[in-house]
Structure 1
Amino acid sequence: MNPHSRIAAPRPHGSRRTVGPVTRLGNRHAARPLARSVATLVAAIAAACGILAGSVAPAHAGLFDFLTSPTVTVISNPGQLAPRESSQVIVRASAPARPGTVVNLVTAGFLNLGYSVVGTTKLDANLEARLPLPGRDFLGSYQYWAQVPATGAHQEGNSARFSVTIASPPKPVSPTCGGANPTRPDGTPWRCTYNDEFDGTSLDRKWWRPQTAFQTGTSSRYACAADRPDTISVGGGVLSLSLVELPTPVAACANNQTTRFVNGQVMHYQTFNQTYGKYEVRARVSSLRSPGAQTSFWLWPNNDTYGPWPASGEIDFAEMYSSAPDNVFPYMHYLLGENDPKTNRNVPGAVCPISFGDWNTYGMEWRPGQIKILVNDQVCVENNYSTVGGVQGQYGPFDKPFYLNLNQAMGTTGNEYDPNVVPDKVTTQIDYVRVWQ
């Protein structure tokens, strides 16, 4: 016998019988309560959706709005920004979105894989919104779109994608270099291309980028470059860069290592660079006469055109060590060609005196085939450079754009930090930075 078959016993007329989940009534009169229940349910749904008998539903509150998506249109976007420059994106949505509906600004992930929300706000009474667009650190073109997330009232709506390009800011307009007008050896004037006199109360982040991914010191004791008020500050007409010992360890390093030591470094990375020219920095190094601190002013190549360090070059036009506080140690890193001190051919470095505890000027004059390092306007070292075998051309690697770096670092091997001797805070003050071409 089929276990799913059965014979129903006779039942009284009008009685209710059930087969599975469906309830059946024995006569047409018993169907009236069910019909009234269905009508009541439909009326409740209609009321919830704003539908009244004899009226037309508003366009924004249709019964089936939950099946549709709002149209999202980007009215304006910045198109191009400088590194770390923030802005906004203006968008407009259509029904069934309503005032107060959340709208997101979304950006594509790495290699356009996935996405992340970078800004959120709500639609106003005109179904428009101004979405915050945060700054980015690196040059390039980035994809964005606006998104109205799905709710119980409608499906998700997305705008068309648009691009925002992060580009270096235009060169400074008519910088003055403090009124200084130095001349070249042939008597022609250098042209000022950039200067910062640090006359304000905060770092000009349009040009200066704090370093936050670098460590100095040794493997057993190190400081991490950090963007903090106690490591980088502007006031009183100077930029102050400090090496600081903290009371407790912090996760300040780029790799999430903890340390009790942080230091300040700023640079013109992706903001200002040039090939050849004259640089000058007026600074007062800390009065520390014990090992542990290092101050450096140097130029680093925009790109590794000639290969990894030192093939693409580095110009340290000032390096000061607290273990030898009466001198500056400039040095040029590259693949040196044949050395001849008599003709200043490939003489990469020197040791030159400075006035300890006082203000000194550190600079360089950089021309095709020659770099002069100057201290207090006096030539410290002159290098008529060339590379080994001439593999990098006549003037390589110093024929490409370089950018400026300034830092107060922890000392390394031979100048190791001693917490029993070094004070909790060591500071280098910088009066100005001036660049000509």
Structure 2
Amino acid sequence: MGGLKAALTALICAGALFAPVTAETASAAPERPERPERPVLTKPVARSSTVVFAGRTRARAVVRLQERRHASWATVAQRRATKKGTFKIVLARPATARTYRVKAAGRVSHKRAVAPAVVPTPERAPVDACGSRPQRAEGGYYACSFYDEFDGDALDRSRWMVQQTSFSGMYGGSKGCYVDNERTVRVSGGLLRLTSTILPTEFLCRSPYGSFTTNAEVSTVATRSKFTQTYGRFEARLKMPAESGIAGSHSAFWLYPQDQAYGRWPGSGEVDIAEWFSGLPANVYPSVHYAGENTQLSSGYSCRMPTASTAFHNYAVEWTPKIMRFYYDGRLCYSHRWTPTGMTGAQPFDKPFYLVLTQVWGLGWNTRTDKMPDTSTLVVDWVKAWS
């Protein structure tokens, strides 16, 4: 009996080992982990300055955007997917063609190429007789109305007149006699040179308002009655006299009214585009003069130009019916809106003005000292105007 029982027990155990797998037994078996699906990176949307990367992956998975760099991939951005498994990443558009992919839950997407940003070609300014046409602050471009590059061997008298005390009665600085000769006005090598000179002996300076003796010659040229203009851009390339830091020399590029429509100076206005004093050489001063001006506001005291005497610089004004803007080497350094006494609108700056270049001896605090040489020269490379 005991032997039979042992045999039956062995048979039952063997049957259990070889029993068929049922649904119940199968559910009890351990599950093999499923491999996550590969994340999907849709075609990137390239805009002018950005690229949008979007796609889907497992819910709440960390998504790493990677960029191909040589033989490896570098993560450039990281986001977490939404509960629905979607994601969006925005990057600056690359300057060169690049390849990207995303990595999430240990798997990577297919690769996507992104084209570089298209850099627009800068618009070239139109060109006319003056060269490149400057752009107006209000839009559009100026058109050339006057230019002189002093290419000959003499001053072009069809463009310029030379100031003479014997004709106008005007004198410059400290009893400086305006004369027209080779010492005061000279053109050579593409440059105009205006020179003030102290002569070794005095001479009679003739004037319709009373002649006087002096040993000082000074120089001014102007486009009076030859070229005048109301509004526009006026510019000259100048090198101030070499006598920097010694009181006595005074140079200017300026505009003056053709007619005294609003009365004597300053009623009819004056625009000093670039005024330089050798006693204060680090600055060049723009000014707008008119009746009732506030002199603390009508001049630009912060237009520095430390190399005015050693290098050529461009000095310009843009004159509109409401404002004067002064540019030195293309940089706006001063602007002014005028409010003259007893006038309205653009007055007195609504009439034609002409161009003036002046080199004289100084006055007041900038009076010539014994250290100042006997000559001082303003050098002009070119003068241009646009309307």
- TM-score normalised to structure 2 length: 0.62
In structure 2, the CA distance between the partners of 1:244 and 1:190, relative to structure 1 (3 Å rule), is same
1:283 aligns with 2:238: yes
Separation (CA, whole Å) in 1 of partners of 2:294 and 2:202: 48
Separation (CA, whole Å) in 2 of partners of 1:228 and 1:252: 14
What residue is the counterpart of 1:204 in the other structure?
156
Work out whether residues 225 and 253 of structure 1, in 8 Å CA contact, stay in contact via their aligned partners in 2: no
Q: CA deviation at 1:371?
A: 0.6
What residue is the counterpart of 2:43 in the other structure?
none
Separation (CA, whole Å) in 1 of partners of 2:263 and 2:288: 16
Q: CA deviation at 1:293?
A: 0.6
Partner of residue 366 from structure 2, selected from 393, 403, 415: 415
Task: Spell out the pairing of 1:16-55 with structure 2 (5 A cutoff).
Answer: none
Q: Any stretches of 5+ residues in structure 2 without a counterpart? A: 1-126
Task: Spell out the pairing of 1:123-272 with structure 2 (5 A cutoff).
Answer: 176-177=129-130, 179-213=131-165, 214-218=170-174, 222-254=175-207, 255-272=210-227
Partner of residue 314 from structure 1, selected from 264, 267, 270: 270
Work out whether residues 315 and 327 of structure 2, in 8 Å CA contact, stay in contact via their aligned partners in 1: yes
Partner of residue 347 from structure 2, selected from 396, 405, 415: 396
What residue is the counterpart of 1:323 in the other structure?
279
Partner of residue 305 from structure 1, selected from 250, 261, 282: 261
In structure 2, the CA distance between the partners of 1:347 and 1:433, relative to structure 1 (3 Å rule), is same
Separation (CA, whole Å) in 2 of partners of 1:205 and 1:363: 23
Instruction: Report the residue type matching 1:352 in the other structure.
Output: C
Q: CA deviation at 1:216?
A: 2.1
Work out whether residues 281 and 363 of structure 1, in 8 Å CA contact, stay in contact via their aligned partners in 2: yes
Higher relative contact order structure (alpha carbons within 8 Å, sequence separation ≥ 6) = 2
Work out whether residues 216 and 412 of structure 1, in 8 Å CA contact, stay in contact via their aligned partners in 2: no
SS of the equivalent of 1:422 reads coil
Separation (CA, whole Å) in 1 of partners of 2:276 and 2:254: 12
Separation (CA, whole Å) in 1 of partners of 2:163 and 2:237: 21
Percent sequence identity is: 34
Task: Spell out the pairing of 1:363-374 with structure 2 (5 A cutoff).
Answer: 363-374=316-327
Separation (CA, whole Å) in 2 of partners of 1:223 and 1:412: 11
Instruction: Report the residue type matching 1:429 in the other structure.
Output: V
What residue is the counterpart of 2:380 in the other structure?
430
In structure 2, the CA distance between the partners of 1:246 and 1:350, relative to structure 1 (3 Å rule), is same
Work out whether residues 287 and 298 of structure 2, in 8 Å CA contact, stay in contact via their aligned partners in 1: no
Work out whether residues 269 and 290 of structure 2, in 8 Å CA contact, stay in contact via their aligned partners in 1: yes
SS of the equivalent of 2:265 reads coil
Q: CA deviation at 1:376?
A: 1.2
Instruction: Report the residue type matching 1:185 in the other structure.
Output: A
Work out whether residues 306 and 397 of structure 1, in 8 Å CA contact, stay in contact via their aligned partners in 2: yes
SS of the equivalent of 2:212 reads coil
SS of the equivalent of 1:298 reads strand
Separation (CA, whole Å) in 1 of partners of 2:371 and 2:128: 42
Instruction: Report the residue type matching 2:238 in the other structure.
Output: A
Judge which range, 366-375 or 348-357, deviates more.
348-357
Work out whether residues 350 and 380 of structure 1, in 8 Å CA contact, stay in contact via their aligned partners in 2: no
Separation (CA, whole Å) in 2 of partners of 1:349 and 1:334: 15
* Superimposed CA distance per residue, residues 272-315 of structure 1 (whole angstroms, 9 cap, x where no aligned partner): 10100101110101111200010011111111111111111111
Task: Spell out the pairing of 1:339-358 with structure 2 (5 A cutoff).
Answer: 347-354=298-305, 355-356=307-308, 357-358=310-311
Larger Rg: 2
Separation (CA, whole Å) in 2 of partners of 1:283 and 1:310: 26
1:377 aligns with 2:330: yes
Q: CA deviation at 1:252?
A: 3.1
Structure 1 segments (4+ residues) deviating >6 Å: none
